[in-house]
Amino acid sequence: MAVPWPVLLLALPVFFLGAFVWAVFEHFLTADVPATMQQRAKLEPCTGNILEKLGICSMPKFVRFLHDSLRIKKDPELVVTDLRFGTIPVRLFQPKAASSRRRRGIISYHGGGSVFGSLDCYHGLCNHLVQETDSVLLMIGYRMVPDHHSPAIFHDHINASIYFLKALETYGVDPSTVVVCGESIGGAAAATITQALVGRSDLPRIRAQVLVYPVVQAFCLQLPSFQQNQNVPFLSQKFMVTALCNYLAIDLSWRDAILNSSCVPPDVWRKYEKWLSPDNVPKKFKKRGFQPWSLEVSSLLADDEIIAQLPEAFLVSCENDILRDDSLLYKKRLEDQGVRVTWYHLEDGFHGSLIFFDKKALSFPCSLKIVNTVVYVKGI
């Protein structure tokens, strides 16, 4: 017996309403917004995740939509120029006011997990850094997934960085004051490029590295912070592993192998265990639900002789971040080789909070704390 079309018309809205209610209900059951986070109500809806569960739009596409809808505000005190170093898009920020001396240089690498993020998205942050530090800042764009994968992304970062370092005089930058700065995967780029440039006599030496909740390893995913914060916005365990697979062009069927680190040979773990073991994470960071886990493999790629030559570092970590312990491990790694480290930890911070600092209603107290600390960090 055929169902009358008026009944179908009435049933469709009920069905979609039911699906939406289910997605919201399921989201609140699985999402974990820690009570220690200030203004946590702003994070709890996580609209992008709900739309993804409804099959309407993936979370990365939703974030890209938000990025594309941002309006760039022009600052009358700055000269902002879009350039291309070869095929690599970059944006140069320079104070308009004349200076009697060469200015500090900042090379900035944006976050977004190689999935989203853009020059436009980080425009406001770069504006603020240039104004507050009276610096010349270069923000580097790069090819992203799904069209491009590693090592293309690394090549874009390092090639643009070298191009800029060879042309510092053109941009009025003091070669002895260049700082690299990055957030999340941009922090990974800053750390990796600083290591790659060690010993280059043809280039100015990097003065310092500013790493805001960086990714410094991607093989040991059972550290305390990975267990404690696996469902905390905006970097869940599921999204991180998916982004990692896309970045490395690995099939998603490897997800479980990546999570338990069974995809890396045991001899590699034996070589690097002393740097990546959870034993290196201070006890106070293990109190919130950490279960000891038998590690077999993981790695940090840089040898001791490279680490020992790195410039001083400023590290920012957030308590409610799956990558919190990456910063703690890298801090210890640097300090063990005599590298000076300034560490700033936010108990109410979460991954991705930096980008919200100038978003008014969407801003969080921890967002402004990070920016202010980066701007006024002593000695850098």
**Catalytic (active-site) positions:** 184, 321, 351
Task: Please report, for residues 19, 34, 255, the alpha-carbon distance to residue 231 in angstroms, rounded to integers and kept in the order given.
Answer: 22, 10, 16
- Distance, in Å, from the CA atom of 189 to the CA atom of 135, rounded to the nearest integer, reads 21
- Distance, in Å, from the CA atom of 113 to the CA atom of 145, rounded to the nearest integer, reads 9
- Distance, in Å, from the CA atom of 318 to the CA atom of 325, rounded to the nearest integer, reads 9
Q: Give the CA-trace dihedral at 43, 49, 50, 54, to 10 degrees.
A: 180
Neighbours of 73 (CB within 10 A): 9
- For residue 354, give every residue at least 6 positions away whose Cβ sits within 8 Å of its Cβ, in sequence order, or none: 111, 125, 183, 212, 367, 370, 371
- Distance, in Å, from the CA atom of 190 to the CA atom of 110, rounded to the nearest integer, reads 10
End-to-end CA distance of the chain: 77
For residue 181, the SS3 value is strand
Contact 186, 116 (CB under 8 A): no
Helices 324-336 + 266-276 axis angle, to 10: 80
